[in-house]
Amino acid sequence: MEEIVNKYQTSINLLNDAVRREIASSMQYIYFHIRMEDAGYEYISRYMHKVAIEEMRHVEMLAERILFLGGDVDLNPIEPTRQLHEVEAMFDFAIKLEKSTICHYNAASKSCAAADDSVTQRIFQDLAAEEESHLDNFRNEMQNMVDYGQLYLTMQSVGRSKSLAKK
């Protein structure tokens, strides 16, 4: 009997690889958020939370496309969460994650074009643009850390005191 092959299998595989990347990033940023919040770093902890939720939205977007193409969704993270404790190490790793994701999405969009799947191609292009904005913001935060060091972290703690006083 002839095996039925889904003609969108290339796209489905690329989409699942992306889902697993997004899950890993989302978990990693939630971990950073929790550590930053515990240390009292108000604004950067909130930003980490925001990006974690954005990555989870990316998971949903990719998963919807996988189901539409007749595939199934693999929600297992592509790599385990790293337990980093220093803010500089967190931003450094977040920058690496975003760069590698952008690189994968650019390659995936080309592969989808080659497989005549322009809609998935566009999804990867749109996601790459959003990851570039994460990268840009993480780079700025890293630069602040390099420029101001402990003073920058102290300002984050003052931010928390301010918001507590408002409550």
Distances (CA, A) of 116 to 42, 67, 111, 159: 46, 18, 9, 50
Chain positions 27 to 56 lying near Fe ion, rule: CB under 5 A, are 55
CB neighbour class for 129 (10 Å; exposed up to 12, middle 13-18, buried from 19): exposed
Q: Which is nearer to Fe ion, 112 or 153 (CB)?
A: 112
Q: d(Cα 57, Cα 86) in Å, to the nearest integer?
A: 27
What element of type H or E holds 58? helix 42-68
Shortest distance (Å) from residue 111 CB to Fe ion: 18
Quick check: 58 binds Fe ion (CB under 5 A)? Answer: yes
Shortest distance (Å) from residue 157 CB to Fe ion: 26
Q: Which is nearer to Fe ion, 22 or 117 (CB)?
A: 22
Chain positions 62 to 121 lying near Fe ion, rule: CB under 5 A, are none
Q: Which is nearer to Fe ion, 87 or 123 (CB)?
A: 123
Structure tokens at 163: 């918001």
CB neighbour class for 3 (10 Å; exposed up to 12, middle 13-18, buried from 19): exposed
Shortest distance (Å) from residue 17 CB to Fe ion: 13
Task: Among 42, 117, 131, 141, indicate the residue that binds Fe ion (CB under 5 A).
Answer: 131
Q: Which is nearer to Fe ion, 98 or 153 (CB)?
A: 98
Binding site for Fe ion (CB under 5 A): 22, 55, 58, 131, 134
